[in-house]
C-alpha cells in the first residue's frame, strides 16, 4: 500500500537531509515537498502574493530556486516528487496541508535549537510534532 509522505522544505541542509531520508527510506511511497511562504514575509513584500484556490492559499508564481535541488535529490534515487508552495504560518500551514491532502506521515528537518533560542524563536518541528494527527519523523 502506497503512503503519502509530506516533506516541508526550505533552503536549508536540514530540509534536504529530510528529503534524502524520505526518498531513500520510503522508496514506494508518494512524496510531496511543501514550501510555506510565511504570511508576514508575503505581507511585507518578501514573498509572492497568494492565489486562493479551493480554500487553500497557493502561491502562483515560479518555484523557489532550491526546488532544483529537490528534483536532483529525487532523481538521484530514481524518484519523482510533487512540489507545491503555499502561504501561511509555517507549522499551521504544514498541519493544514497534511489534513487536507490525506498525508500519512510528515518527514522534516530540525534546526536543533535548544534552551533560550528555542524558547524565543519557537520550533516549527516541535509544533508540528505536538499537533500532528499523523506520525512525524524529525531528521536532525
Span 72-113, pLDDT tens digits: 999 999 999 999 999 999 999 999 999 999 999 999 998 755
Q: Assess if CATH 3.30.460.80 describes domain 4-138.
A: no
The residue-averaged pLDDT of 30-46 equals 76
Q: Burial letters for 88-127: b for 16+ Cβ neighbours within 10 Å, e otherwise?
A: bebbebbbbbbeeeebbbbbbbbbeeeeeeeeeeebbbeb
Helix (H) or strand (E) holding 136: strand 136-139
Rounded to 10 deg, the angle between the 13-25 and 67-76 helix axes is 30
Helices 90-100 and 124-131: angle between axes, nearest 10 degrees: 40
34 contacts 86 by C-beta, under 8 angstroms: yes
Alpha carbon distance, N-terminus to C-terminus of the chain = 28
pLDDT at 58 over 60: no
d(CA 94, CA 71): 20
C-alpha cell at 61: 508564481
Question: Which pairing describes strands 30-38 and 4-8: parallel, antiparallel, or unpaired?
Answer: parallel
Q: Judge whether residue 57 has pLDDT over 50.
A: no
> How confident is the model over 113-125, as pLDDT tens digits?
555 555 544 589 9
pLDDT at 18 over 70: yes
For residue 125 the three cell numbers come to 518541528
What's the average model confidence in pLDDT over 35-56? 58
Higher pLDDT: 52 or 112? It is 112
Residue 106 Cα to chain centre, angstroms: 8
What is the CA angle 31-107-63, rounded to 5? Answer: 55
User: How many whole angstroms separate alpha carbon 122 and alpha carbon 87?
Assistant: 19
Amino acid at each position: 500500500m502506497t503512503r503519502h509522505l509530506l516533506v516541508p522544505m526550505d533552503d536549508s541542509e536540514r530540509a534536504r537531509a529530510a528529503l534524502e531520508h524520505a526518498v531513500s527510506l520510503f522508496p514506494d511511497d508518494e512524496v510531496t515537498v511543501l514550501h510555506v511562504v510565511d504570511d508576514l514575509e508575503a505581507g511585507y513584500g518578501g514573498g509572492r502574493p497568494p492565489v486562493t484556490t479551493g480554500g487553500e492559499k497557493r502561491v502562483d508564481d515560479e518555484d523557489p530556486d532550491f526546488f532544483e535541488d529537490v528534483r536532483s535529490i529525487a532523481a538521484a534515487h530514481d524518484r519523482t516528487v510533487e512540489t507545491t508552495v503555499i502561504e501561511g504560518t509555517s507549522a499551521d500551514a504544514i498541519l493544514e496541508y497534511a489534513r487536507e491532502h490525506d498525508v500519512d506521515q510528515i518527514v522534516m528537518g530540525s534546526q536543533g535549537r535548544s534552551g533560550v533560542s528555542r524558547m524565543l524563536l519557537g520550533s516549527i518541528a516541535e509544533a508540528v510534532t505536538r499537533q500532528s494527527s499523523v506520525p512525524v519523523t524529525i531528521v536532525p
